[in-house]
Each structure stands twice: as C-alpha cells, then as structure tokens.
Amino acid sequence: MARNMLPVLIAPLAIDTPVAGFNGGLFVHPDLSIIEQKLLPLDAAKQALDLVVSHGLDGWVYAGNEWLVRNPKAPHVDREGRTVRFGPKVVKAFDDDMLSRAVKIVGVSDDLDRVRQCEGYVQKALGSRATAARSQPYYLDVTNRDANKGFVLDYLSRELGIPPSEIATIGDQPNDVLMFKRSGLSIAMGNASEDVKRQATAVTDSYDHEGFAKAVEQFVL
C-alpha cells in the first residue's frame, strides 16, 4: 500500500493487520505507530538527493512519519497534502540528521521525461546500495535496497501466514513488478504501460473505469 493512502483506507476498511508504506521501507500498526523501518544509508541518501536536485527535480524526504520539503509551492505538494490530510514540515535544507533518518527520498517533477531519465541515473549511481523506481510518472522513489513491493509481499506473507502463491497483487507502475513476480496472481491496471502489463498474469480495466473493482470481481471473488 502506498504511504499516501494510509489515512484514507485504514479506518473505512477496518484494517487490523500491519500496513506497509514507502514501498516497504516502513511498516506500521493501523494507528500508524511504527513497527519497523528500513533506512537509506546516509551516503546513498545524500547522493540520491544531489542527483534528484541536479536533474531539476524537487526533492522530498520522508523520515519516520515526517514528510519534509524545502519548497511548499513545488509541484504536487498541495495534492499530497490533500491526500494524506496533513501538511509537510518545511525546512530550509536537508541536513545529515534528517537524511540519516530517511526512509524514502522522492524526486518530483511534471517533466515526465526528466523523471524517467533521472531514474536511470540514480539506479546506475547507487547500484545495489538502494532501490530507485517511479511510483508515478512524476514521482521517483529512492528507498533502502531491501525496501520494495516485492519485500512487502514477502513480509506480509510471513506475518499473516499466507503463502505467496495464494496472494493476489494489483498495480499500474514499474515499482509494482517486483510484487507481481512473487505473487500467485498479478493483475495490471488497464492504464499501466505495456511493459508492466506484459509482466502481469492478467490485465483489468483502467482506474477511470473501475479497474480495481472489476479485477476483484473477475479474478478474486
């Protein structure tokens, strides 16, 4: 589950199990108290942020339950605030203390080609020290190397005692592919790229046409 959906879904769905955020960098109880987190190494966090900024993206830092930004007027800050129902903490600069607590760094831009290109540079520069993947066309997420949606599936499989072969996953972005590969049933949304669709077991309709509900009805129930 994406971090920015936690407050919206937990209460309405009466979720009482551990919930993953930040692509598996953070696991919380339903009251959002932290169970465990996987931090970025400080050197990787600093390099990732430098690369994000040097490529013209705005940088956000998530440290524990804090959302830190330098520019509250940057693209998608308002949208994120409306989604999570709280505002960011505005800081003048990201210091080593903040970056040493970083669970996720996000590069944000409405120049989608720039975000895509930055993804490649960050992946090459960080290598095995971190995971870098777009969670949305305008978001580049950088997390601990073991923090990804494939790890989320493995963690919840162990915690809930459900074999991966009996778990269904659904997604529409490149960072969903790792959980696709581990689950017994993987479903790509109709709005996903062709590459993401090719790596799923099945394809449903787009989010504009109730693809999630259709997938549950057709493939799960």
Give one word for 76, left, alpha or beta, with left for phi > 0 and alpha for psi -120 to 50.
Answer: left
Tell which wins on pLDDT, 112 or 2.
Answer: 112
**Averaged pLDDT, 198-205:** 96
Every domain of the chain with CATH number 3.40.50.1000 lies at 161-221
Q: Where in the chain is the domain with CATH 3.30.1240.10?
A: 42-144
At residue 48, does pLDDT exceed 90? yes
pLDDT of residue 52: 96
Mean pLDDT of 27-49: 91
Going from the C-alpha of 75 to that of each of 53, 69, 112, 213, the distances in angstroms are 14, 11, 12, 30
Alpha helical stretches, state H, the chain: 6-9, 42-54, 77-84, 96-100, 112-126, 149-160, 177-182, 194-198, 211-215
Q: Is the dihedral of CA 211, 179, 125, 37 positive or negative?
A: positive
**Model confidence at 2: pLDDT above 80:** no
Provide the percentage of residues in the chain whose pLDDT is more than 70: 96
- How would residue 218 be classed by pLDDT, with cut points 50, 70 and 90? very high
Q: What letter does residue 86 receive in the DSSP assignment?
A: S
Is the pLDDT reported for residue 179 higher than 90?
A: yes
Q: For position 8, what pLDDT does the model report?
A: 64
Q: Is a pLDDT exceeding 90 seen at residue 162?
A: yes
**Can you tell me the distance from the alpha carbon of 9 to that of 147, in angstroms, rounded to the nearest whole number?**
22
Helix (H) or strand (E) holding 103: strand 102-108
Fold entry, domain 42-144: 3.30.1240
Q: Which fold has domain 161-221?
A: Rossmann fold (3.40.50)
